[in-house]
Amino acid sequence: MLTHPENPAHVLVEEADLAADPVDPSLTDVADRLREVFRWAREYLCRPHHELGRKGPVCPYAQASLDRRTFLLAVHRGEVIDPETLDALLLTYRDWFRELPPVSGPAAQFKTVLLTLPDLTPDTANAIVDAAQARLKPQYVAEGLMLGEFHDGPPDKGGLWNEDFRPLRSPVPLLAVRHMVSSDFPFLADEAASVATYLRLFGGNVPAALRGRVEAAAREFGLDDAVPVPAVPRVARQETS
């Protein structure tokens, strides 16, 4: 386990920690729920799904994150958690996330911290998780981060390639912190500030499949001057395809 450098009450659990015999005493009564999260990641996130609407795994980055041991779980116990406490907890893990290696370069995009809430009851978990994500999303996006909501509801958001598919279902309620990537634009397209952040971060690296949507959103929000110029000429792209 990784221990917060300033607050030892905050820890991050690696998959290997749950394979120990015995597990750390602090994990004894929650180990099975955490194993369930890792199993969900390997058997769901890392695999194709017939409702996904595209080829490849549900999450393109989960396998690489697991392989690099940068898929990390935090745990908050208790059947009740108020919004202020949850927000503060998420911000603590967000700040720690920034400091965890790798802090830069291509490998950093695979780093993920998932705050699990294994004790929340089914009748409250979904609303708590969804509300936290909605409250904090603008702040995270402004800093180039994504905050994802997952529970067994599942969340109402449809898939990018099949709007009828609900990809954010998970067996344990959780919120996931990761770096924003260029393919995240559809999650950001409905807010001017989010679109502006996306353009600032990705410049000329907008994926070709999303460029039309990015340009349309920029026009809608009066950000035309910020629309990036493609970094690679069209002819060069054709030669390498």
Domain termination residue (choose one: 157, 180, 203): 180
Reported confidence tier of residue 10, pLDDT bands at 50, 70, 90: very high
Distance between CA 45 and CA 49 in Å, rounded? 9
Tell me, what DSSP letter sits at residue 241? -
Same-domain check for residues 207 and 234: yes
- The domain containing residue 214 runs over which residues? 192-240
pLDDT in tens, 208-224: 988 999 999 999 999 87
Q: Which residues lie across from 178 on neighbouring strands?
A: 112, 146
Same-domain check for residues 57 and 159: yes
Distance between CA 119 and CA 153 in Å, rounded? 15
Distance between CA 204 and CA 90 in Å, rounded? 31
Mean pLDDT of 180-185: 92
178, with CB counted inside 10 A (0-12, 13-18, 19+), is buried
Say whether pTM exceeds 0.85.
yes
Domain termination residue (choose one: 160, 180, 200): 180
